[in-house]
């Protein structure tokens, strides 16, 4: 997914097909779970598809930019500008939740039996009731936290200024030395290794 409602699909990663999204908004991120593709982006855009080919616009009820969507414990949770959090059991009907912050929220994951959200000004939020109530956690950094994962018994989040923070429980966090001051955007874990990338 990408600019101007762009959606491309491929069965082999080699040959790609342009699909009609029905949107001209930037599509920022996409997930697949519960037999459903869900992509989110500008002006509160939510699109869903069962096959990646035919897409349906869903009502978000907001005009804010939506940054990320994830699925866990039979619940979709998405986050966006100004503290926006929406939840859904079917990716069709979305319900706004009170996040307790007006900071932009950039990342959301279902990790270690809880939803975790990260965002602007070092924001870290956790929820153990499928996104209904959220608890703010103290962060050792005040920059933009972009992504968070849980692997190898460790919560790990990456942020602006080359900042990386880790936690064993998702509550108490420790800053780590990355060796760079560049903007870190995303992080994955595979083959016994955490890998982060950025600008």
Q: What is the pLDDT of residue 139?
A: 96
Residue pair 39/27 in contact by the 8 Å Cβ criterion: yes
Note the pLDDT of residue 176: 97
Question: pLDDT digit string (tens) for 152-173?
Answer: 999 999 999 999 999 999 999 9
Q: What average pLDDT is seen over the chain?
A: 96
pLDDT interval class at 10 (50, 70, 90): very high
Strand order in the sheet with 164-167: 145-151, 154-159, 164-167, 174-176
Q: Say what the pLDDT of residue 112 is.
A: 85
**Residue 53's pLDDT is what?**
97
> Considering the entire predicted model, what is its pTM?
0.94
> Residue 68: which residues within 8 A CB-CB, separation 6 or more?
28, 29, 40, 78, 79, 106, 107, 108
pLDDT at residue 104, as a whole number: 98
User: Does position 130 have pLDDT exceeding 90, yes or no?
Assistant: yes
- Residue 150 phi/psi, 5° resolution? -135, 115
- Collapsed DSSP state (helix, strand, coil) of residue 81: helix
Concatenating the DSSP letter of every residue in 123-160 gives -EEEESSTTSS-EE---S--S-EEEEEEETTEEEEEEG
Query: Residue 183 pLDDT more than 90?
Result: yes
Q: Taking 90 as the threshold, does the pLDDT of residue 111 lie above it?
A: no
């Amino acid at each position: 997914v990408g600019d101007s409602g762009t959606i491309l699909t491929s069965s082999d990663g080699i040959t790609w097909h342009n699909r009609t999204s029905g949107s001209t908004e930037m599509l920022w991120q996409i997930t697949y779970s519960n037999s459903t593709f869900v992509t989110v982006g500008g002006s509160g855009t939510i699109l869903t598809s069962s096959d990646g080919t035919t897409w349906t616009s869903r009502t978000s009820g907001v005009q804010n930019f939506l940054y990320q969507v994830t699925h866990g414990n039979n619940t979709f949770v998405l986050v966006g500008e100004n503290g926006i959090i929406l939840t859904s059991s079917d990716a069709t009907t979305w319900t706004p939740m009170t996040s307790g912050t007006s900071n932009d929220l950039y990342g959301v994951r279902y990790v270690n039996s809880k939803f975790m959200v990260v965002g602007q000004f070092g924001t870290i939020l956790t929820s153990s009731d499928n996104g209904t109530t959220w608890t703010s956690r103290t962060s050792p950094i005040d920059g933009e936290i972009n992504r968070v994962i849980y692997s190898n018994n460790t919560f790990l989040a990456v942020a602006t200024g080359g900042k990386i923070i880790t936690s064993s429980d998702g509550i108490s966090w420790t800053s780590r030395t990355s060796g760079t001051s560049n903007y870190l955007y995303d992080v994955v874990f595979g083959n016994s290794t955490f890998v982060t990338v950025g600008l």
